[in-house]
Amino acid sequence: MKIGIISDTHDNIPLIEEAVKIFKQENINEVLHAGDLCASITLDPLIKEFKVYFCLGNNDADVLPIKKRLEPAGGVFLNGGGAFVIGGKKFALYHGHNLMFLNALIKSQEFDYVITGHTHKRRNEVVGKTRVINPGSLYPHHQNSVAILDLEKDEVKFVRLGDMK
């Protein structure tokens, strides 16, 4: 089972649509979004194709519209962050803007995976039994990327966006 991971999309609909194509090619059914979506409408390409788990980032002021768009589409709104299980693995999804809280999640060793964003930098690090993943961002003038997690192999692949023609 593969899971798509995306964060810090910052209303970049063309790159979100590119990510959707990549996730579909990988036969992904569930996508984790670690916040900084910005406007609720930018969820549409994702929620049309996948079950989306979403937590708020520090740039997500559109809270009620995001929730009202996500939940009727079968998505999971985790407010400022939350925990859930997919494929028998325990996940924490948190944007990462409070570094002390993020580090506490990781150090707790309660999760197989901690998914984060905020820094716009890719991260794939194993701390104890917990793998910490930051897919990067879709923010302009950055090296845009998403991540694909293969749960069976416990492998993470980063896919760069914006290079496709």
Classify residue 7: in a domain, yes or no.
yes
Range of the domain at 124: 2-160
Residue 97 pLDDT more than 50? yes
Number of domains in the chain: 1
Q: Which residues contact 159 (CB under 8 A, 6 or more apart)?
A: 19, 22, 145, 146, 147, 148
pLDDT at site 146: 98
- 3-class SS string, 66-96: HHHHHHHHCCEECCCCEEEEECCEEEEECCC
* Lookup: tokens for 19: 């990510």
In a domain, 89, yes or no: yes
Q: pTM of the entire structure?
A: 0.96
**56 assigned to some structural domain:** yes
- Portion of the chain with pLDDT greater than 70, in percent: 98
Q: For position 49, which CATH number holds? A: 3.60.21.10
Instruction: Please name the helix (run of DSSP H) or strand (run of DSSP E) that holds residue 50, with its range, or none.
Output: none
Residue 141: predicted pLDDT: 75
pLDDT bucket at 138, cuts 50 / 70 / 90:
very high
The H-or-E segment that residue 123 falls in is strand 123-127
165 in a structural domain: no
